[in-house]
Structure 1
């Protein structure tokens, strides 16, 4: 059994959608027989979490400064990792890519000095595609890339989600992985037959690449007999949600575009149960992305909720009972095929179970993380 330490921005005082991914990865490693810890943070400082315990590692006086979680946190996380390494031997450090400042190099050297292995995950690959999303943060990423270049020789394996990496990144071993899902976290969807209303659902930290304005415009153009409602559950990541609210008002969709705000747990499950079709990202082309592995599509698969999406995703089965693909461009979306798809889904009681089985066998974090460990052992 190995001791694994996960390093990412893991907030203890905020409810963020990405925590589900992190929890799934760590649960998978535990299921594979390993001892797993991660570093979490809140307004007090950095904490070590694992094996049912939570221990204060260090206080961080800058946590209350606006923007801390986009700046100083990266330095504090590396300090926290060094503190863990002084207290125990870590066999595997799984490091989600983040801006790397000067003390990151010392952290990488410390894990190697113990004989441990270092894996770095790129949640969006190539990295440049993620960096282009924010003009203000570009100088930070330029500096961070210089630091990363220095510590890259210490990395045992890169894992990359996105475009094919070709087996190497910066002359180091690399492998593509997919976003997995902890299937058992989600209740199985039960279709809502017997009425002619269609309820579409988008769950996300709303941002421009989700492109939900395309669906709002399609609803405004739709002249069919079926009442269509679009539910949006999530916070405003970059101002897009506010613009979509204004667009819905301009197009007189106030009664059919329902903005719920962030929902979690049973409250979110109840909303999902009342809807017929999930909606994935529809605007990734606006950021130069043609391929992707959106986590939300895997969550829809795990729930057994049929969905509409736009980006190319090799892991999504091309089964017309499960999903409907629309164009990944700025062409107007025709709502009629989506309505027909939703009406069929409402009457298909078997599809949710089949979707869930596919997710269990092909999209689980356990299979993904097992592949990472096998590659490390080569």
Structure 2
């Protein structure tokens, strides 16, 4: 089976490292089932296609103009599909829909047997509305105008998808049809072979280390943890029996707000911003942490259900974690996950301390979590579901 995996991710952008891992994991899973995969992506000012025979073809993309930048991707894939005459599956990873996408689909439909559109966030409406509100608050009126235009284009163009797309893939959503197109619900996956299991080093310490790893946005809800830590130290007059530290790895739009909040609440000694980390440096953070922080504020963009990739990575690492949304592919009774309320309330740090201590008392807790990831979150499992729906396996 010939598969073209089309993305709009810049593989050299450090903030996209999580997305890159996901995409490479998907490609590897397709190959596991015998598919010949052409993987398409940006590399700074180039749009590249890694061909099944090991060769790579690239085309210059003008990154200073968003429309021309995306047009290069569409033209590159159109030319590639035309040269092949027929391709079994085009799998498109898209953040949203616009008329550029519709025009592209109309042009290439006759060259592809099946088209599957992966919607990264669904429903997307809440995220766009929130972007508009943020731009208003910061007096970025040009940005407000752009976001409104984007939203209108999204609302209008999505009605045309049903003429060209065979299936829509979504994560953590159970709707059978989306925009009158059959949907396939998958879970975000991981490739555990490429994720080193952590080696816990903090099991006997009288200190709990919380770790958040993300491209920082308000949907992660790290402000809830920061406020909770301020309450915790105030409650115990800065002398709790168990110290708590929150270490944040990552950069992003939310970083300045979080830094300002930490300073305002006077918790600089307990909240550390570490910037971007990868490789051995990131592994060390996991080894020295007790509990990881998954998404705590998906409700801010109107989502009740979710399937964040980071939770799967935490599982593969073998670290206990907290989260605050409906996670369908996670048994709420597992001892290594703590579900919190999906609202803007401050996190109860005493609850986190108790949870962490319980996890420390479980023998081989790291292996238990890792095994759960291997059995439930591997990309091979998720892509297998997709190919089964398509009638391939």
**TM-score with structure 1 setting the length:** 0.91
**After superposition, where does 1:14-29 map in structure 2 within 5 Å?**
14-15=13-14, 16=16, 17-29=18-30
Greater share of helix: 2
Maintained 8 Å contact 1:74/1:100: no
Give the secondary-structure state (helix, strand or coil) at the position aligned to 1:36.
Answer: strand
Q: Where in structure 2 are the equivalents of 1:265-276 lying within 5 Å?
A: 265-276=279-290
CA distance in 2, matches of 1:132, 1:357: 39
The count of aligned residue pairs is 369
2:321 equivalent to 1:295: no
Contact 2:90–2:112 (CA under 8 A) maintained in structure 1: no
2:224 corresponds to 1:214: yes
- What residue in structure 2 maps to residue 112 of structure 1? 109
After superposition, what is the alpha-carbon deviation per residue over 1:205-239, rounded to whole angstroms, capped at 9, x for unaligned? 00011111111111111123111110000111x2x
Q: TM-score, normalised by structure 2?
A: 0.88
CA contact (8 A) 2:96 2:119 kept: no
Cα distance change of structure 1 residues 100 and 338 upon mapping to structure 2, 3 Å threshold: closer
SS in 2 for 1:33: coil
Helix, strand or coil: the match of 1:341?
A: helix
Contact 1:38/1:49, CA 8 A, preserved across alignment: yes
Does 2:81 correspond to 1:76? no
Residue of structure 2 equivalent to 1:172: 181
Question: What RMSD in Å do the two structures reach over aligned CA positions?
Answer: 2.0
Residues 127-138 of structure 1: matches in 2 within 5 Å? 127-135=124-132, 136=144, 137-138=147-148
Shift of 1:101: 4.7
- Find 2:246's aligned residue among 230, 233, 238: 230
Unaligned runs of 5+ in 2: 133-143
Q: Look up the match of 2:137.
A: none
| Residues 139-158 of structure 1 aligned to structure 2 (within 5 Å) | 139-158=149-168
Q: Secondary structure at the match of 1:371?
A: helix
After TM superposition, give the deviation of residue 327 of structure 1 in Å.
1.1
Which of 88, 92, 100 is matched with 1:91 structurally? 88
Q: 1:163 to 1:116 in 2, by over 3 A?
A: same
1:315-343: CA deviations, max 9, x gaps? 12223521111111122321111011112
- Measure, in 1, the Cα distance between the counterparts of 2:318 and 2:44: 37
Instruction: Compare 98-107 and 364-373 and name the one that shifted more.
Output: 98-107
State the Cα distance separating 1:149 from its structure 2 match: 2.5
Hey, what does 1:317 align to over in structure 2? 331
Does the C-alpha gap of structure 1 residues 144 and 283 become closer, same or farther in structure 2, counting only changes over 3 Å?
closer
Q: Secondary structure at the match of 1:297?
A: helix
Distance (Å, rounded) in 2 between the aligned partners of 1:321 and 1:102: 47
* Structure 1 Cα separation of the partners of residues 383 and 130 of structure 2: 28
Write the distance in 2 (CA, Å) between the matches of 1:179 and 1:99.
18
Distance in 1, Cα, partners of 2:98 & 2:229: 46
What SS does the aligned partner of 2:183 have?
strand
- Give the stretch that moved more between structures: 103-112 or 21-30: 103-112
Q: CA deviation at 1:287?
A: 2.1
Structure 1 gaps of 5+ residues are none
Aligned to 1:262: 276
The farther-off stretch of 278-287 and 193-202 is 278-287
